[in-house]
Amino acid sequence: MNIFKLAVELFVLYLLYKLVFDFIIPIYRTTKQMSGKMRDMQEKMNQQHQQQQQAQAFQETTRQQASSKKSSDDYIDYEEIK
């Protein structure tokens, strides 16, 4: 009877070992890795968004400067040549 009880306990310990090392730990590693990759992707998206906003702001300032130059240079004196 003692040997049967010991065998059952060893079998249960083996199952717990397999559960922990073949199921729980890989899932933990995978979720940790995926959350890290998601964080990296989010940071890249934020950087791209900031760069895009900076580029748009730069284009807007150059347009404003170009339009202010055009408005002052709109009128050109014209002399008729005979």
- pLDDT tens, 22-67? 999 999 999 999 999 999 999 999 999 999 999 888 888 888 777 6
Nearest Cα to 57, choosing from 49, 45, 68, 46?
49
Residues 65, 71: Cα–Cα separation, whole Å = 10
pTM of the complete model:
0.56
Q: Is it the case that residue 82 has pLDDT exceeding 90? A: no
